[in-house]
Amino acid sequence: MRKVKGLSQQARDAFAESARAHLIQPWPVAGEIGAESRGGIVSGNGIYVTDIEGRRQIDGPAGMWCTNVGHGCEPIARTLYEQAMALSYNSPWYTANDPSVRLSERLANHAPGDLNHVFYTTGGSSAVETALRFMQFANNVLGRADKKMIVARQGAYHGSTYLSASLNGRPRDHDWMDSAGELVIKLTCPNPFRRPAGVSVEAFCDMLVDEFRNTIETYGAERIGAFIAEPIMASGGVIVPPEGYLDRMRALCTEHDILFIADEVVTAFGRLGHVFASKEVFGIEPDIITFAKGVTSGYFPLGGAMISSRLLERLRQSNHADAMFAHGLTYSSHPIGCAVAETNLDLLEGGILAQARANAPYFQAQLKSLEDLPLVGEVRGLGLMACVECVADRESNNPLALDLEVGKRIDAHCQQLGLLVRPLIHMCVMSPPLTISRPQIDDLVSILRQGISLTQDELT
């Protein structure tokens, strides 16, 4: 592993002490709030970041699925400066700005079907929150105030605001947190690897679709406002649903006038090789698409919801066309965020999408080779997102005990060797910057292999 400049021991100690004293990081445990330091990153370049100890690491998760064009990207840095000098902010309440108008048109051209309208937010949670509040508002305006329930799935992650978090369905998400659970119905996670024993993937898909159909019958379509799905469940462990699943869920939504919200916070902006994945990869046209993360490659907090013209037309034709959608953020349509997103889109369209599409099969195949390790139950994924799921034993594929935190152990070993991993309990997620080359993919997989092997030795 290459050593580059980090911080001195004294500076590192001061950094850790100050972080412990004042910084609250996401997802802390109660006893460590205000008493924790998780190490640090001081710089980034391309697919690499450098930690405070001066170790250069491959950024395996691209931050949090977001640094799609890589770190230290000059065109984006220039845009940040130039847009800040040209117009740093305007109030979206009263005015619009050039970058947001131009970006909206470009996004509408990329989006499937009639998703021609964009409401900008500050990230993914606020994008999902916007989509859900919009559904509630629309059904109030359309005179069907009971049609508000949201169908989500076990294993999903949609955010950390109250309503978006209420949809989450991963282990531990709700152990200590309140939620708007009365509004949410959760369906089975469409994970073929964890399908019931003796059931084919096709039959499993039928079961999932039947479950949704039965749910609609049980609750009544007049009470269900939306179905929300990440096309590939990301933080739940890169769950690629069975072939045809999304299509058939979409058809049920259409049949029962339920909005299909595709949460593309992770899958958009090149992660699956296209600006949006719903149509290009899965052949579906959602009613709303939420996005964030890769839209600015993480250089500025921006997200949004693309909304269908048909839906807006219904509101225009309703008896309450004067009803106000009382929802907006100070930083909606932020000019710097939108300008960064335009440059990011230039880079994606200018070659990075094509590179991601070309390298994806190689990335998946190389990672798949890890399935020869006894600790690995399955490697799955699509595009440039993948998950290595570890199991207690490969005969049964039984999950490992939660408290072993195998993902964290693998991450710790990999960090010593030059790779950051996104640990998810007993899984490791890989979603590197889309600019990763094939030799760099080889490095990533080789380090991950070593990290898993070392962890395996530790457990036996």
Within 8 A by CB and 6+ apart from 323, the residues are 137, 140, 141
**Is 158 one of the binding residues for ligand PLP (CB under 6 A)?**
yes
- The DSSP string of 7-32 is --HHHHHHHHHHHHHHPPPSS--GGG
Nearer to ligand PLP, 62 or 375 (CB): 62
Nearest Cα residue to 169 out of 160, 158, 180, 182:
158
Q: Candidates 87-95, 155-163, 192-200, 333-341: pick the segment binding ligand PLP (CB under 6 A).
A: 155-163
Q: Candidates 107-115, 260-268, 313-321, 386-394: pick the segment binding ligand PLP (CB under 6 A).
A: 260-268
**Residues of span 340-399 touching ligand PLP by CB under 6 A:** none
**Is 229 one of the binding residues for ligand PLP (CB under 6 A)?**
no
Residue 293's alpha-carbon distances to 18, 297, 356, in angstroms, are 28, 6, 17
Nearer to ligand PLP, 234 or 289 (CB): 234
Nearer to ligand PLP, 289 or 445 (CB): 289
Q: Cα separation of 73 and 67, whole Å? A: 10
**Is 263 one of the binding residues for ligand PLP (CB under 6 A)?**
yes
Query: Coil, strand, or helix at residue 319?
Result: coil
Residue whose entry in the numeric block shows the structure tokens 């296209």? 274
Q: Cα separation of 62 and 419, whole Å? A: 11
Contact pick of 70, 92, 99, 124 for ligand PLP (by CB under 6 A): 124
Q: Cα separation of 390 and 373, whole Å? A: 9
* Phi/psi of residue 137, nearest 5 degrees: -60, -50
CB of 416 to ligand PLP, least distance (A): 26
Within 8 A by CB and 6+ apart from 186, the residues are 151, 152, 153, 154, 169
Q: Cα separation of 77 and 72, whole Å? A: 8
How many residues belong to the site for ligand PLP (CB under 6 A)? 17
Name the residue type at position 268.
A
Contact pick of 128, 131, 152, 420 for ligand PLP (by CB under 6 A): 128
Nearer to ligand PLP, 389 or 455 (CB): 389
Name the residue type at position 182.
E
- Give the pair of three-digit tokens for residue 147: 């049609």
Q: Cα separation of 296 and 372, whole Å? A: 37
CB of 187 to ligand PLP, least distance (A): 16
Nearer to ligand PLP, 128 or 345 (CB): 128
Contact pick of 230, 287, 342, 378 for ligand PLP (by CB under 6 A): 230
Q: Cα separation of 215 and 23, whole Å? A: 43
**Is 125 one of the binding residues for ligand PLP (CB under 6 A)?**
yes
Nearer to ligand PLP, 72 or 301 (CB): 301
Query: Coil, strand, or helix at residue 155?
Result: coil
**Is 266 one of the binding residues for ligand PLP (CB under 6 A)?**
yes
Site string for ligand PLP, 162-201 (x = CB under 6 A): ----------------------------------------
Nearer to ligand PLP, 204 or 300 (CB): 300
**Is 427 one of the binding residues for ligand PLP (CB under 6 A)?**
no
**Residues of span 58-87 touching ligand PLP by CB under 6 A:** 64
CB of 220 to ligand PLP, least distance (A): 28
**Is 265 one of the binding residues for ligand PLP (CB under 6 A)?**
yes
Residue whose entry in the numeric block shows the structure tokens 């329930």? 149
Site string for ligand PLP, 293-312 (x = CB under 6 A): ----------x---------
| DSSP summary character for residue 443 | H
**Is 424 one of the binding residues for ligand PLP (CB under 6 A)?**
no
Binding site for ligand PLP (CB under 6 A): 64, 123-125, 128, 157-160, 230, 234-235, 263, 265-266, 292, 303
